[in-house]
Amino acid sequence: MKKRPTILDVARHAGVSKSTVSLVLQNSPVVRDTTRRDVEKAMAALNYVYNRSAAGLRGAATDLIGLIINDLRNPFFTEFAASAQMAFARKGYSTVIANTDEDPDIQVQVIDSMIEHGVSAFVISPAYDATPAAFERIERAGIPAMQVLRQIDPRTDVFPFASLDYATGGAVATQHLIDLGCRHIAFIGGLEDRPITLERRSGYNQVMAEHQFKTTHLPGRPSRAFGRDAALELNSHHKSINAVVCFSDLVALGMLAGFAEIGVQVGSDFRIVGFDDIEECSLVYPRLSSVRCNTALFGEDTANAMLDWIVDDKRPPDTQRYKVDLIARQSSLGA
Amino acid sequence: MKKRPTILDVARHAGVSKSTVSLVLQNSPVVRDTTRRDVEKAMAALNYVYNRSAAGLRGAATDLIGLIINDLRNPFFTEFAASAQMAFARKGYSTVIANTDEDPDIQVQVIDSMIEHGVSAFVISPAYDATPAAFERIERAGIPAMQVLRQIDPRTDVFPFASLDYATGGAVATQHLIDLGCRHIAFIGGLEDRPITLERRSGYNQVMAEHQFKTTHLPGRPSRAFGRDAALELNSHHKSINAVVCFSDLVALGMLAGFAEIGVQVGSDFRIVGFDDIEECSLVYPRLSSVRCNTALFGEDTANAMLDWIVDDKRPPDTQRYKVDLIARQSSLGA
DNA sequence: CTGAAAGCGCTTACAG
DNA sequence: CTGAAAGCGCTTACAG
C-alpha cells in the first residue's frame, strides 16, 4: 500500500508541468494532442489514480449524488433506486445510497453524513414523520434536493416533488372493474391518512361517487400478510363485495394467496386489481391485473431531471406527476 | 449558497486556535471540556459542516465503503445490500452502492470511480465474466476487498471470499424429501456451470448418490418464468418425478404458479423445496419450504468482518461459509 | 499552448 | 492543553 503517484509524478514522467496534467485530466481543449497522449501514457505507466478529494477541496463540484430511500427492501423502491443509480452512473455520477428503514433519526444522520461528503444533490424518498430538521439541514447547506414519491416538506418551490399520478391510477382501476360489471367494489389496504393511501383511494372514491356506488375501505399495512387476512375477512364479513382495487401489489398478492387457501376463484368469482405492477404480477397464477407505475422509467427520469438541475441549472417543476397505466390480466378479466 | 464556514471561522468565533477545533472534531481527549463546549457552541452557531474532502486529502482514512452488487433488483441481493449498508451506517460508515446489472464493463467503471473517491474498502458481489481487470485495479490501489457470494478471483488470500454453505443446504433439502418418502427427486433451475448452481446441486447429487437414487437436473434461469415452464415440463415429460429441490425460491414460486394452473396439488401430489427463504415463502399458498440463507445476518456479518479488517487489521479468513437451515413448510410437508 | 504560484479546508507533528 | 507552520493533491487565474 505504497503512496499513490500524484499529478506531479505524472508531470515529471511526461516532461510537462503539473498544470498541463491537470488540464488533461479535465479534458481541456487547450492541450495539444501529442502532449495529451504523452500525459496519458505517463498516467498509465505510473498507475495514476485521480484524487477526487483534492479536486473537491479546490472547488470542483463533486460527482456524488445522495439517494435516500425509506425502504430499500421494498421491490418498488429497489427498482426506483437501481434505475436512478444507473442513470446517474451513465452520466458519470456516483451514487451514495442509504436505506433509512422509515427511521427519521437514521435519515437525519445519513443526510448529515452525505452533506459532509459533499454530495452535489439529494434525491430523497423520505421517511414519514421526518422532522423538519432533515430538510432544513439540506436547505442550509444549499444543496439541490428533490423529494420523490412522498411529499414531506410542503415547500415544493424549494424541494421539487416528483411522483406518480396515483389518483388517476385508482380511478382507472375502479372504472375497469365497473366496466366488467362489478358494483360492489372495495379498496383494500394502505395505512390511513398517509398521503399515498389518500391519493390512490381518491381516484377510487371519485369514480364510485360518479356512479353512486357505495365505497368500502379496509385499511391496513401494504404487505402480503395483510392482503391474505383481508381476503379471509372479506369472505366472512363482506360477502357482497366481489371486486377490489388494492393499495399495492403486495396486498393483492396476499389476497391471491388467501383466496387460494379458501378456494375462491379469482378472475371469475372475484376480481382483483393491484397497484404498482411489479414483475411478479405477470408471473403468478392467476396473472395479476395492476396499475403500472413504470418505476424504472420514473427513476431514470428523476435522475435526469436532477442532472438537468445541477448541470444546466434547469430546475424541475415544483410538482411533477408521471403517468400510470392499467395492465389488465386474468385476475380481473378471468382466464 | 454562500460559502460554508471553515474551522478557522469556528476557531475565531470560539476564541481558540484552529488546531483546537480540529482536535474537538476528532474527539481528542486532550481538549478541556469547557473548551470543547465553546467550540461546539461556535460550530452550532455558525452552522459549520465538516469537510471530509479536506480531511481525506490530509491523510485521514475516509469512512466510505464501496458496495458493488451484480443484481440489485433481485430481492436476495437487495436484502444483503441493505443489511450491509445499515451495519456500516451503525458504525458511522457511509456506503456507495452500485448495481452492475451483471455487466463487467459497468463493473470496471464503478470500481474505478469508487477508487477515485477514496473508498477505504470494497465489498463486491461480482458480475460473472468479470475480466481480471476489475480486481487488478483494486489490488494496485491497495484497497481491502472481499468477494461475496461469487468467487471470481481465485486468490482468496488477497480477496477473502464469504458465502453461504450452499452444498449443505442442497443436501439437507434432498434428505428432507427422502425422509418424507420421495425417491424420484429432481433438481430444478440454475444456469449450468455457474459455481452457485454447482454448489447447490452438489449437495443434492451427493445425497442422491448415497441412496443410489437417479438424479435429474433441469437447468434454467433462476426466474419465476423458468419455474413455471419447468412445472409444465415435468408434468408432461417427467411423470415419475414427484419432488424437487429448486435452485432458488423464484424458481420454486414459479413452479407453484405453474402447478396451480394445471391443478397439481403441491404438498401432497408433489413436494417442493426452494432455496434462499425469501420473505414471500411464508406468505404464499401453499407456504413454501426453503433453505434459509439468512441473508440479512450474512450482510451484517460481512460488513462487520470488513470493519474488523480495516479498523483493527483483523483480516477475515480466506474462505468463510455461513450456515444455512431448512425451513420445512406446506409445500413439502403437506397442509 | 505551458509554467510558477497561491490556495482550497483540513490534520499532523512540534513547540510552548 | 493550545498555537504556529507545513503540507495533503489538486485547480485556478495569471504570465509568458
Q: What span, in angstroms and rounded, lies between the C-alpha atoms of A205 and A194?
A: 16
**Residues B171-205: tens digit of each pLDDT:** 999 999 999 999 999 999 999 988 889 999 999 99
Q: What span, in angstroms and rounded, lies between the C-alpha atoms of A167 and A326?
A: 12
Dihedral over alpha carbons A108, A114, A116, A118 (to 10 degrees) = -140
Dihedral (CA of A198, A202, A205, A209) sign: positive
> Out of A114, A224, A285, whose CB is closest to B257?
A285
- pLDDT at residue number A1: 41
Q: Which amino acid is at A245?
A: V
Q: Out of A174-183, A321-330, B23-32, B110-119, which region has the weakest mean confidence (pLDDT)?
A: B23-32
pLDDT band at residue B130 under the 50/70/90 scheme = low
pLDDT band at residue B253 under the 50/70/90 scheme = very high
Q: Read off the pLDDT of each residue in A119-147 and give the average, rounded to a whole number.
A: 89
Radius of gyration of chain B (CA): 26
Q: What angle do CA A167, A194, A318 make, to 5 degrees?
A: 60
Q: Read off the pLDDT of each residue in B118-146 and give the average, rounded to a whole number.
A: 89
Contact at CB, A117 and B64, closer than 8 angstroms:
yes
Strands (E), B160-315: 161-164, 185-188, 216-218, 243-246, 271-276, 289-292
- pLDDT at residue number B128: 85
Nearest to A280 by CA among A67, A126, A78: A78
Dihedral over alpha carbons B132, B137, B138, B142 (to 10 degrees) = 130
- pLDDT at residue number B3: 67
Q: Which of B94, B140, B255, B281 to mutate to test the interface with A (most CBs of A within 10 A)?
A: B94
In which element (H, E) is residue B255 found?
Answer: helix B249-262
Cell 484524487: give the residue: A51
Radius of gyration of chain A (CA): 26
The percent of residues in chain A predicted with pLDDT above 70, rounded, is 98
Cell of B211: 441412496
**Residues B204-217: tens digit of each pLDDT:** 999 999 999 999 99
- pLDDT at residue number A92: 87
pLDDT band at residue B75 under the 50/70/90 scheme = confident
**Residues A238-279: tens digit of each pLDDT:** 999 999 999 999 999 999 999 999 999 999 999 999 999 988
Q: Out of A125-129, A290-294, A305-309, which region has the weakest mean confidence (pLDDT)?
A: A125-129
Q: Are A267 and A286 in contact (CB under 8 A)?
A: yes
Cell of B69: 452488487
pTM of the model: 0.84
Q: Which amino acid is at B29?
A: P
Q: Is B101 on the interface with A (CB under 8 A)?
A: yes
Q: Domain A64-159 falls in which CATH fold?
A: Rossmann fold (3.40.50)
* Residue numbers in A near B118 (CB within 8 A): 51-53
Q: Mean pLDDT score of chain A, rounded to an integer?
A: 92
3-state secondary structure A101-146: CCCHHHHHHHHHHHHHCCCCEEEEECCCCCCHHHHHHHHHHCCCEE
A61/A313: higher pLDDT: A313
Q: Is A284 on the interface with B (CB under 8 A)?
A: yes
Nearest to A53 by CA among B119, B224, B227: B119
φ, ψ of residue B265 to 5 degrees: the values are -85, 110
Dihedral (CA of B104, B110, B111, B116) sign: positive
- pLDDT at residue number A60: 64
**Residues A142-151: tens digit of each pLDDT:** 899 999 999 9
pLDDT band at residue B2 under the 50/70/90 scheme = low
Q: Are A140 and A162 in contact (CB under 8 A)?
A: no
For strand A64-69 and strand A121-125, is the pairing parallel, antiparallel, or unpaired?
parallel
* Residue numbers in B near A92 (CB within 8 A): 113
Q: Are B227 and B248 in contact (CB under 8 A)?
A: no
**Residues B47-69: tens digit of each pLDDT:** 888 888 888 777 667 789 999 99
From-to residues of CATH 1.10.260.40 in chain A? 7-57
Residue nearest to nucleotide C7 (CA to C1'): A58
By three-state DSSP, how is residue A271 classified?
strand
* Residue numbers in A near B62 (CB within 8 A): 53
pLDDT band at residue B1 under the 50/70/90 scheme = very low
Give alpha helix (H) positions in B15-165. 18-25, 33-46, 52-57, 75-90, 104-116, 132-141
Cell 476487498: give the residue: B145
Q: Read off the pLDDT of each residue in B132-151 and give the average, rounded to a whole number.
A: 90
Give long-range contacts, CB 8 A cutoff, 24+ apart: A211-216: A211/A178, A213/A178, A213/A183, A213/A184, A213/A185, A214/A184, A215/A186, A215/A187, A216/A184, A216/A185, A216/A186, A216/A187, A216/A241
* Domain A7-57: CATH architecture, name and number where available: Orthogonal Bundle (1.10)
Q: Are B57 and A51 in contact (CB under 8 A)?
A: yes
CA distance B89 to chain A (A): 8
CA distance A211 to chain B (A): 35
CA distance A243 to chain B (A): 20
From-to residues of CATH 3.40.50.2300 in chain A? 64-159, 166-294+325-333
pLDDT over threshold 60, residue A221: yes
Q: Read off the pLDDT of each residue in B126-148 and give the average, rounded to a whole number.
A: 87
- pLDDT at residue number B247: 97
Contact at CB, B85 and A99, closer than 8 angstroms:
yes
Q: What span, in angstroms and rounded, lies between the C-alpha atoms of A87 and B106?
A: 12
Closest nt by CA–C1' to A23 = D11
Q: What span, in angstroms and rounded, lies between the C-alpha atoms of B46 and B44?
A: 6
Alpha carbon distances (Å) from A320 to A155, A171, A301, A315: 14, 19, 11, 12
**Residues A2-23: tens digit of each pLDDT:** 567 888 889 888 888 888 898 9
The percent of residues in chain B predicted with pLDDT above 70, rounded, is 98
Question: Yes or no: is domain A166-294+325-333 CATH 3.30.1640.10?
Answer: no
Q: What span, in angstroms and rounded, lies between the C-alpha atoms of B68 and A174?
A: 42
For strand A325-327 and strand A289-292, is the pairing parallel, antiparallel, or unpaired?
antiparallel
pLDDT band at residue B125 under the 50/70/90 scheme = very high
The percent of residues in chain A predicted with pLDDT above 90, rounded, is 66
Q: Which amino acid is at A4?
A: R
Secondary structure (DSSP) of A170-232 = HHHHHHHHHHTT---EEEE-B-TT-HHHHHHHHHHHHHHHHTTPPPEEE-B-SSHHHHHHHHH
pLDDT over threshold 70, residue A179: yes
By three-state DSSP, how is residue A243 classified?
strand
B47/B305: higher pLDDT: B305
pLDDT over threshold 80, residue B335: no
Q: Out of A59-73, A258-272, B86-100, B308-322, which region has the weakest mean confidence (pLDDT)?
A: A59-73
Q: Is B136 on the interface with A (CB under 8 A)?
A: no
Q: Which amino acid is at B170?
A: G
- pLDDT at residue number B117: 87
Contact at CB, B52 and A117, closer than 8 angstroms:
yes
- pLDDT at residue number B27: 82
* Residue numbers in B near A279 (CB within 8 A): 224
Q: Read off the pLDDT of each residue in B112-136 and give the average, rounded to a whole number.
A: 88
Q: Mean pLDDT score of chain B, rounded to an integer?
A: 92
